Structure 1
């Protein structure tokens, strides 16, 4: 197959297409919460012989998945947590503040929140992942949802093109699993499409391991059973992909691992002491906005409560390649040490497993496995897109000189 492109266009989107070139077909299987220890505990998810670990990002899946897809760090694509600070009040989430007119026991019900999320998606034209969790209604007036689009079909994320989009632009046949479908249905659909359409690039998506690990923790029967099902589905997908003929490479990759919870921190007393401070409580971090005096007071209160963790100011966030321009995710944040959990938080209650810790935490690393040798320079989530493109015959010319390297924690 021959693919060519104007060099200026290639530089603008970060990748150049080379030709003539004969590429292999690639199956990428994204497994949510697949860290190195989860990969080994599951027996390799299909016995792929080449395995490794990838440096992750500060934040959650909503930041890790864009990094995987674009090959850019969060500071470039702008994603880190599900909720961010809106540039101005009265944004897309603002109408939800009226949920506060209902009693708390009513407006926090999952059924009502899911219904409200569906209405929001329809009225605002959102195609990305939306979940309102337990966010206090009064916060919706200044919160925003960075993920407005379906990441698997978006041309760009935060201005950076995904490897799926690059392949589509090159004229390759691309399939991305519809993440909105129930797990079993999605995999059945995926295998049917792989057999019928014979794509050059396929992106499959597995979510149930993440759910099992959150609910039951590592080493649980539920997690083992989920891993077994994921393994069987991957094997069927590989068989379906190979039915199209040609050389096929399979890459299984996660976005982070999972840590077992040993310490639950109730933040309600802290929130009372910090009343009036603009903040957001995620499962593993508390994020703050305000002037220097406000931030210093918040830091003092965290220390006074003797919480184990790290205070990350703007300098520390820059070092971790987190988005800091405009402070969308906080001017400073406190991240708990691995194994601790804020509960109740604005996104949920107590669980057995969690991720979202600092970069040197074992659960911050993602696993990668393949039936082809993993390149030595593929050591971070941001490196996977380049490897996939190179296997497809797309010559990587990264705009901005991204290396996939993260600055280490302090």
Structure 2
């Protein structure tokens, strides 16, 4: 073994070699540079074998020592398993709120065996490489180095092809909010387990999550705001909790009410912040909307914020001030319902209180987003200033 270790040279060489091997896997799996890498045989057989080759390479390296002393390694492993189970439970709760879907994977004997081989190869290779890179560094910049390593390993899960095809705007925000940031948060937590306990807790945490993804017949089908919340904040909360519990177990921190209150305070603040974000993007039955024109004066002025209660189009009543989506100009319009045409297909006739004529197009029930239940004067002025450079579409009075 010592001869093999000496063959691989110094620590810097081993790091460079390992990063190069992982980078090769990222290029093979996430780009179009190697056409055959997208074939089924490569994905399910060659790729796991290559990851197992990386794991074997790390096994031949000299051992690295994680931070936790040997007597606490089992505690860290138990925390990793518990964290994975709690994470899955929260994901399922999120799915119950926004929706559940059937797994896209097959569950026959052959398919399950292939998936198991894929998970085992991928987990062993990724976590062996992660553990070595994290624990071979012994400098004073541990936090940024671990964060950088975590970011690097995000790309073992995500496809660079998807990122290249993204356009600026909502699609980009949804991808980063619902996919990239959750993957980074999960990678950070996995790296922290590797930092504390080495390969085993990191592989246990990551492997359980992958096994759930591949072997559960029902998976959460969540909206991107829900993915952002659960995928980012649950791993961050878990990291803080694991750190706190490890410090207590290692007697690096006294059990004081002040420390517990501080942790609870961070938790409460984060949950409140996320709830505000959810409220702003429309997760709840009531959501805010900034008014940018004066078509509804004097009831609603530019810069006011209206609270809109979600409802179906057939629930609208004459005189309601509704918000509806205009598909051609792709904006939300807030106007009053002045007539309801119930002959044939239902249609709503709308008009701004300050406009001289009715809106050109009748509003179909499926366009209705909700009705205004409250006006908050001048609350949206800051947003209005930010939008001041955006012109109102020609011919539109909303």
Band of TM-score, shorter chain: under 0.3
Structure showing the higher strand proportion among its residues: 1
Structure ranking higher on relative contact order (CA contacts 8 Å, 6+ apart): 1
Structure showing the higher helix proportion among its residues: 2
TM-score, length of structure 1 as denominator length: 0.21
TM-score, length of structure 2 as denominator length: 0.22
Larger Rg: 2
